[in-house]
Amino acid sequence: MISLQHFLFIAAILFCLGIYAVITRKNAIQVLIGIELMINASILNLVAFARYDVVNNNGQLFALFVIVLAAASVAVGLVIILNFFKRVKTIDPNKANSLRG
């Protein structure tokens, strides 16, 4: 049986990779991928702790809800990126410097 620390370390590394992607990337889609990496790391944490909760399975249920919320947020985020591309003709988030138009 694999110890809890292994899961937590892998989740920490994935989370840090996601933060690195969010800070450095100049492409909104890759920023979104970084956010997805961070969400996956948190789901891994939830699932790893849920292994010790065999009666209620709270952690796995929360992981399912988090997956659904992440899918919803990705749908909205991608549509925002598409609209942004229609207006500014680029998807560099650094170029988004105006709120209207």
Partner 1 sequence: MVEQIVFYVFAAIAILSGVYVVASQNLVRSVFMFFVTLLSVAGLYIFALADFVALTQIVIYVGGVLVMLLFVFMLSSKDSLDNIINLKKEALSANRIPATIITIALLAIISYAILLVDFEQLDWIKSNKLLIDKAQTSNVHNIGVNIMGRFLLPFELISILLMMTLVGAAHLARKEPTND
Residues 13-72 touching partner 1, rule: CB under 8 A, are: 13-21, 23-27, 29-30, 32-34, 36-37, 40, 43-44, 47-48, 50-57, 60-61, 63-65, 67-72
Q: Long-range contact list for 17-20, CB < 8 A, 24+ apart?
A: none
* DSSP 3-state of 90: coil
Cα 58 to Cα 3: distance, rounded to the nearest angstrom: 19
- CB of residue 42 vs partner 1: minimum separation in angstroms? 11
Q: Which is nearer to partner 1, 68 or 99 (CB)?
A: 68
- CB of residue 77 vs partner 1: minimum separation in angstroms? 9
96 binds partner 1 (CB under 8 A): no
| CB 27 within 8 Å of CB 91 | yes
Residue type present at position 29: I
- CB of residue 79 vs partner 1: minimum separation in angstroms? 5
95 binds partner 1 (CB under 8 A): no
Residue type present at position 83: N
